[in-house]
Amino acid sequence: MPTDNNLQTPIYLSIATVLYRSGDEQLERFRDSLVRCVQHLRSERPVARVTLAVVDNAAAEDGDRHSRQFTRLAGIDSIRFIQPDHNLGYGKAHNLCMHQGSDFHLILNPDVYLAPDALVAGIDYLQQHPATGMVTPYGVDDHEQPLFLSKRYPTVLDFLLRGFAPPALRRLFANRLAHYEMHREYLSGEASDAVEIASGCCMLSRTALLHRLHGFCEDYFLYFEDFDLSVRLRQHARITLVPAMRIVHDGGHAARKGWWHIRQFSRAGYRFFSTHGWHWW
């Protein structure tokens, strides 16, 4: 539970998501889980304001397909739907949404579905632990299998194994990958400050810290912008895995999406290692 002082201070939460050709069924599930989670937060904690910004990066190509799904949502005070005139990429689109004057800012993918108490768990932890600047959730897939979203700093071998190796080769390096993906910490049920890389699918942060870092580096169009932000953020604060903050995530797997995604993933990986250091093995 938060401290008494925190309980008396209403929080302002801003939320942002970036769309690119999301399916209607997926967005409905995303929207409904978000509304339930916000309503639960309001029922359990003092809340001054909740705002939502949605950027549709495909609007210039596909037209307005989704704004009607985000016109009015219970518990959310203000909704801004942004339709850029071209695809801005992930990080640049999110950076449009970080200056809402909030206390906490939630970066959320449209293929992430929040448990009803996820925001209470994440915000409580940030209020209780001033040394933590970002919390990252415990994620599972639709079959309740853990996704190991929290990671250590990758070596190039880890990058290649996790992104491109066939299952048989991954099994040979299972112990190595388990260390990189923090299996022991992830499955312990305890909060862990050992996170070096947080997944951009769901990041709950102190807004002031994101402003200090100028948000995502816009040199990354897609992939690894969350790795880069994590490394820079950890120079100022901790990133903590909070198991009580639970999500379902059905995205990821760049190598399964075709050659364009593989090229983007590889280029972004090269930029990341060139910027932050090549750890080979």
Three-state secondary structure call for residue 232: helix
Measured between alpha carbons, how far is 174 from 275 in angstroms, rounded to an integer?
Answer: 28
Mean per-residue pLDDT, 228-240? 98
Per-residue pLDDT tens over the stretch 168-187: 999 999 999 999 999 999 99
What is the structure's pLDDT at 2?
Answer: 52
Task: Write 142-149 long-range contacts (CB < 8 A, 24+).
Answer: 142/248, 142/250, 146/186, 146/187, 147/249, 147/252, 148/181, 148/182, 148/183, 148/186, 149/198, 149/199, 149/201, 149/202, 149/249
What is the structure's pLDDT at 281?
Answer: 86
What is the structure's pLDDT at 174?
Answer: 95
What is the structure's pLDDT at 250?
Answer: 86
Per-residue pLDDT tens over the stretch 43-64: 999 999 999 999 999 999 999 9
Mean per-residue pLDDT, 120-137? 98
What is the structure's pLDDT at 143?
Answer: 94
Per-residue pLDDT tens over the stretch 241-273: 999 999 999 865 554 567 888 889 889 999 999
Please give the mean pLDDT across all residues of the chain.
Answer: 94
Per-residue pLDDT tens over the stretch 79-106: 999 999 999 999 999 999 998 899 999 9
- Is pLDDT at 206 greater than 60 in this prediction? yes
What is the structure's pLDDT at 190?
Answer: 98
Q: What is the pTM of this model?
A: 0.94
Per-residue pLDDT tens over the stretch 186-205: 999 999 999 999 999 999 99
Q: Single out the residue of 195, 45, 34 nearest to residue 116, CA to CA.
A: 34
Position 236 confidence tier, pLDDT thresholds 50, 70, 90: very high
Torsions phi, psi for 30 (to 5 deg): -60, -50
Q: Single out the residue of 214, 240, 236, 216 nearest to residue 228, CA to CA.
A: 216
Topology (CATH level 3) of domain 4-276 = Spore Coat Polysaccharide Biosynthesis Protein SpsA; Chain A (3.90.550)
- Is pLDDT at 77 greater than 70 in this prediction? yes
Delimit the domains of the chain by residue range.
Answer: 4-276
Task: Write 69-76 long-range contacts (CB < 8 A, 24+).
Answer: 69/24, 69/27, 69/28, 69/31, 70/31, 73/31, 73/34, 73/35, 73/38, 74/35, 74/38, 74/39, 75/35, 75/38, 75/39, 75/41, 75/42, 75/50, 76/15, 76/35, 76/38, 76/50, 76/51, 76/52
Mean per-residue pLDDT, 62-76? 95
